[in-house]
Copies of this chain bind each other. A is one copy, B any other.
Amino acid sequence: MGFNLKNKTAGKMIPDPSLKRLCRIYAILDEYDKMGEKAISSRELGEKTGTAPHTIRKDISYLHRDTRAGSGYNVPVLKEEIGSRFRFHIERRACIVGIGKLGKVLMDYDRLPYNNMKIVAGFDSSINRIETLRTDIPVYPANEIPLIIKKEKIEMAIIAVPGPRAVETAENLIRAGIKGIINFSSTVLNPDMKSGVNIVNIDIIGDLRYLAALMTASDDALTPVSSSAF
C-alpha cells in the first residue's frame, strides 16, 4: 500500500518504501543545510542512506517537482519541498504514555522538539511513580487521558507501556481522538482500518532478533545480506 491521494490536487501515489526513504532524505538535507552545503547529488544521498542512486531519483520523482536536470539537487529547495509536502514544519502536539525508563528518556529527548514534536503531557498508571517524578512536562494518571488529550489538543501519542498494556492503551488513546501512534511496546499494534489512526510500531527486540537471524546466516557461510530495519 502507499500514500494514496484521493483528492485531485496532486494526483499520484507514493509507495510506502519510497515514503520512508524520503523521510531519511529529508534528515540528510537538513544536515547538509546546517553545514551550509548548497547542493547534493543522488549519488551522495544514496551513499548516506544506503540506497542505490536510481532509487533515490525515483523516490524524489514522485514529488513531481520542476527542476532543471544536470546539476545536483538544491539542498534548501528540496528540503523545503519535502517538508511542505509532508508538513514537517507544523508542530505536532504529543504525549508519552508509560513513564518508565524508556518513557523518561523520550521525554527529555531534545531531538523531538527539534523535529517539531512538542511533548506536552505524560501519562502513567502508577500514582506512586507520578509523585516521585521530577520533570518539566506535567505527568498525569492514565485515567485522565481522555480529558487531557482534548484539553491540550494532543494529536500524537508515544506508547512506552509494557507489552500486555499496549492494546488497551491504544484503544483508550484512539477513543480520546488521537490521530497517530508510535508504539515502542513489545506488542504489535495493527491499525484498525475503520479508525483512520496511523500507527508505527518500533520493535526493538524484534530488530535484535532479526540481526541475530542475519548473523546466523553468516555463521553458516551463507550469503550475508544488506539490510535495514527502517
Which B residues are CB-close (under 8 A) to A217? 3-5, 198
CB of B3 within 8 A of CB of A213, answer yes
Within the assembled complex, what's the spacing in Å between the Cα atoms of A49 and B116? 30
Which B residues are CB-close (under 8 A) to A221? 6-7
Taking the complex as formed, is A130 at the interface, i.e. its CB lies under 8 A from any CB of chain B? no
Distance of A154 from chain B, by nearest CB (Å)? 13
Which B residues are CB-close (under 8 A) to A16? 225, 227
Taking the complex as formed, is A143 at the interface, i.e. its CB lies under 8 A from any CB of chain B? no
1/0 per residue A207-221: CB within 8 Å of B? 111111111111111
Within the assembled complex, what's the spacing in Å between the Cα atoms of A213 and B226? 26
Which B residues are CB-close (under 8 A) to A224? 191, 196-198
Distance of A230 from chain B, by nearest CB (Å)? 5
A180-B105 CB under 8 A given contacts A47-B190, A87-B219, A186-B27: no
Within the assembled complex, what's the spacing in Å between the Cα atoms of A86 and B108? 37
Distance of A77 from chain B, by nearest CB (Å)? 19
